[in-house]
Structure 1
């Protein structure tokens, strides 16, 4: 039997003693969108490396407009990168319609707004079975729909078959969306703000569901969020994104208990559970059509504004010297002249303190 599947991906396991091939990886990915009336193009994704291993949950964290959704859409094959490449199982992702259809059976998207994701005129059964009909269902369709709903926590599944979205709670609608993805038995899901529209009482249930699916099915996930508390509760690894670049990456414990980049520290400081003083960023929100020279965070950087970077002898580099693209693997890394210099506070806090784990 061939080890190469319908998408052209080599599924053979890595030889003993070698590093396993990431399930999904981006290498040097760049995506731009043209500006209006001759304006400069918006550099939504400006050189990103990112790996997701089998059974791994990676949180892609950043504020609105940082490029995280554009990166997620590129990883799904919905946006063609102008540079770099996306690989699945070690093989470059082909962008022709046949290859993408096979690929999307194995990589599914879960959107943040279940009300907008579900057709109000379709029953739960029709919503979950839609993907099965598009891709062709091997075996009984009814059994596959029932299994997906049960795995998503809607039991007994037959009770929900003929219900419409308006008859469900917000948490139940999100479970239907997740069931629609699970029906195709994907290897990876991309969840874009999966609990942002849900009540606090339901958020924990959906996060627990995603963790259970990882444990039971070996499912990998890329969770796109602005919420560091969510990342702490669900992710194995965190990648912090700012203005089209990943500026800090590492395990969730490394990044969220000892943040090195001033942007990560600022995001973490506003959570009520952290033991550091809140940081209020000044300056204009980042504009992807006007990426500044040097460190792209320097116009808003609290360390540079306080004079600490100049005192450490790196202020000039912060303003003029670009930083390299961080590796996409599990190695902890930061793209910050100050953090990489002797002037960085031990432990990553502005006052050298340790940030306690956030909670949701």
Structure 2
């Protein structure tokens, strides 16, 4: 599959929070390769603080990378104002909280029309808004024109946010925890909508989530992120039915349908200003704690030898890539 969007060697570093020369930089995205194909849904999964939202913002051009590059439609992303404006028409962001995304003083019509107005889209504005609302499942669209956000349900507000993105007829949407604030029954409806948009419009999507169950229901491929890097990536069926990285295994174990005892990771993710040597997961790794890595003869490598940046489908784990491992 030809990549619509790709990132190569992407790094994003933030200044340390403390004043003075002793403050260490935060390595939020620490060398990431990622591709999204045309008409493909990719789930980016990981715990809070792993860097997935920063990576999404870097892919959108909202955070300039320290190094690496983003390529969209075969052309490297440029960071001039004009280039970014044109890019963000084709790549749209859908945020987690629809209430925070919508101006309470704007009607649904104005909320959806805002993007076409900013970008100066040609054509009849009323038709653009009607088509976007209908595609987002708000029918008949005219019924919603004069409503305000507080008059809508949570699911309807999220559909308005999606309609605002669709009004610009993008090729890719980046959805950051798009259903986290919704009830379980409404979550399914919004996920079904994203799948329908993929099938009917050929729309690509990067879905950022901490929920591997969501990834299973919606994604074609999944990328698991830990402490600024992708540690496992591949087709969703492969990664979620036969996970090879201990971190992916731990995330999956807490799902009710996993059928395995939950794996309790020790402590919080390490401080991103002090990334440990060796495999960056080794301090919390259940394979090391249980002696499995020792028996496979890779424990010393886990503690001292860093894994290379994961490119394409695969796994960044000494145990998984050892002969007979994972």
Question: What is the TM-score with the length of structure 1 in the denominator?
Answer: 0.89
Partner of 2:325: 344
2:148 equivalent among 156, 164, 175: 164
Alignment of 1:258-337 (within 5 A): 258-328=242-312, 332-337=313-318
Alignment of 1:41-80 (within 5 A): 41-80=25-64
Aligned length: 323
> What secondary structure, in the 3-state scheme, does the structure 1 residue paired with 2:258 have?
coil
How far apart are residue 343 of structure 1 and its match? 5.2
How far apart are residue 47 of structure 1 and its match? 0.2
How far apart are residue 284 of structure 1 and its match? 3.3
How far apart are residue 286 of structure 1 and its match? 2.5
Partner of 1:25: 6
Partner of 1:35: 16
How far apart are residue 89 of structure 1 and its match? 1.2
Gaps of 5+ in 2: none
Task: Give me the whole-angstrom Cα distance separating, in 1, the residues matched to 2:127 and 2:230.
Answer: 42
Task: Give me the whole-angstrom Cα distance separating, in 2, the residues matched to 1:257 and 1:342.
Answer: 21
2:194 equivalent among 202, 207, 210: 210
Post-superposition CA distance 1:49-84 (Å, at most 9, x none): 000000000000000000000000000000000010
Task: Give me the whole-angstrom Cα distance separating, in 2, the residues matched to 1:276 and 1:97.
Answer: 50
Question: What is the TM-score with the length of structure 2 in the denominator?
Answer: 0.98
Partner of 1:122: 106
Partner of 2:128: 144
> What secondary structure, in the 3-state scheme, does the structure 1 residue paired with 2:99 have?
helix
Partner of 2:232: 248
Post-superposition CA distance 1:332-354 (Å, at most 9, x none): 30000011113535xxxxxxxxx
Which 4+ runs in 1 deviate beyond 6 A? none
Q: RMSD between aligned alpha carbons?
A: 0.9
